[in-house]
Amino acid sequence: MKPIKITSSTQSFKTIKADASIIFIVNKKLKTPLSINEKIFKTMGYKGEGFLFDQINKTLYYGIKDLSADSLREAGYTVIKYFKNLPFSSLKMICYGTESEMQALLIGLFLGNYNFEFYKSEKISHPIKEVIFAKEGYDKSSKAPTATMIKKAEILAQAICDVRDVVNLAPQEATPAYLANWAKNVAKTSKISCKVLDKKALIKEKMGAFLAVNRASIHEPALIHLNYKPKNAKSRIVLVGKGLTYDCGGLSLKPSDFMTTMKADKSGGCAVIGILQAVANLGLPIEVHGIVGATENMIGGNAYKPDDILISREGKSIEVRNTDAEGRLVLVDCLSYAQDLAPDILIDFATLTGACVVGLGEYTSGIMGYNENLKIRFEDSALRSGELCARLPFNRHLEKLLESKVADICNISNSRYGGAITAGLFLGAFIREDYKDKWLHIDIAGPAYVEKEWDINPYGASGAGVRACIEFISDLCGE
């Protein structure tokens, strides 16, 4: 994320010196507190929708539906993007909304400055360097952003952008070793601990499912374990992320069209690393562990095969009927390791199933688990953060579809229907009874990587899971 400075001034809007101004037109009400040149509305036939740029006064008018957090977040992102190709470096605006709504606006402003240019020969530098908020508010409920609010938004935005950068990296760049080194750097800069279990350690841990997925890759696997443990920790939460740095489907080879974008199969693992970074830099009073299973799923003479029987770390045997259902195999061994840490809450994030995208669309994550109240609590937090999530129900009839005649469980269902839920139920079979009510599975296959710009997300990686989980953890801490 390129740096952008956001400040709160005690000066009035008119006296602040800036290259250009931003004024939101709320619900098509053209008579705003600061409409500098209302005549232009009539001249240009502006009705309060979309953009209107007053070149004489260097003022951008932008219509928004209301002062909700969702509207303000997207508006902040959109107006910063608008100035991308204009010769202005500083902007000024008044305050909009309550504290939580202003927090959303700040996130949008920071994220509007994001652009992934790693592989571009010509880099484009976003001209906006500073946004200044005047002392005026849109109405009496509007709050000026404090230094604490701005810092919080900046920390969260930086974590999201770092996650986006790594997810967007090409698979020859972002290998399991790359993820491990990134995690070590995050640990060093955020003052948290990090240890990496290599292939020998995974063998010692008896992670037969995880190791099987890795067999045909030239890149060795890594289990990354990050730990943030403040002195005043109120509880312990353990996060697990699927870190498939590339997934070709294995011997159950994906069609070529479906193989494209599989660099994004590491999104869950990257989100976990980003969440740990944000939690540590925010100084939240909770112990958080992050477990990432990093590997590739490739083809070769030593690849694991349909009909193989794998023995997981939990001791359960798994009949393989599809090698493209590999993420769940990595996750069950990581979840086993995570349960040894005695979490108060256990959450995994994974781009697990195309079925979840079919069911909920590209923009919504699926929430699964056995504890309905915990699912509702996470959903509420996610929606407040601006991430779209929906609860999917477990049921005992779908569970029967995973039965195997030759092993304890099959890695895919024997039906094409309900694939997101049966994948969640497969993971649930490896959750011990003591942790079933403490566990959530978040399928981020839809929003993690979308090949078109939407909401506050650019083409490609979104950083799905970061905002939702930080909101959830903050709620747990009473922050």
**86: exposed, middle or buried (Cβ count in 10 Å: 0-12, 13-18, 19+):** middle
Return the exposure string of 356-375: e unless at least 16 CB atoms fall within 10 Å of the residue's CB, then b. bbebbeebbbbbbbbeeebb
Whether residue 384 lies in the annotated active site: no
Q: In the block, which residue shows the tokens 């289990």?
A: 223
In order of 176, 228, 278, the CA distances from 282 in angstroms are 27, 11, 6
From the list 92, 266, 328, 467, the catalytic residue is: 328
Whether residue 328 lies in the annotated active site: yes
- Rounded to whole angstroms, the Cα distance separating 221 from 196 reads 10
- What SS3 class is residue 291? strand
In order of 23, 25, 112, 460, 466, the CA distances from 4 in angstroms are 19, 24, 10, 22, 21
- What SS3 class is residue 133? strand
- Rounded to whole angstroms, the Cα distance separating 286 from 470 reads 11
From the list 254, 316, 321, 377, the catalytic residue is: 254
Element housing 400 (H / E): none
User: Greatest CA span in the chain, whole angstroms?
Assistant: 78
Q: Which residues pair with 236 in a beta bridge?
A: 287
The torsion defined by the Cα of 84, 90, 93 and 95, in degrees rounded to 10, comes to 100
- Rounded to whole angstroms, the Cα distance separating 337 from 205 reads 8
What are the tokens at 54?
A: 């007053």
Backbone angles phi, psi at 219, to 5 degrees: -100, 125
What are the tokens at 178?
A: 């790359």
Element housing 259 (H / E): helix 256-259
- What SS3 class is residue 367? strand
List residues with catalytic annotation: 254, 328
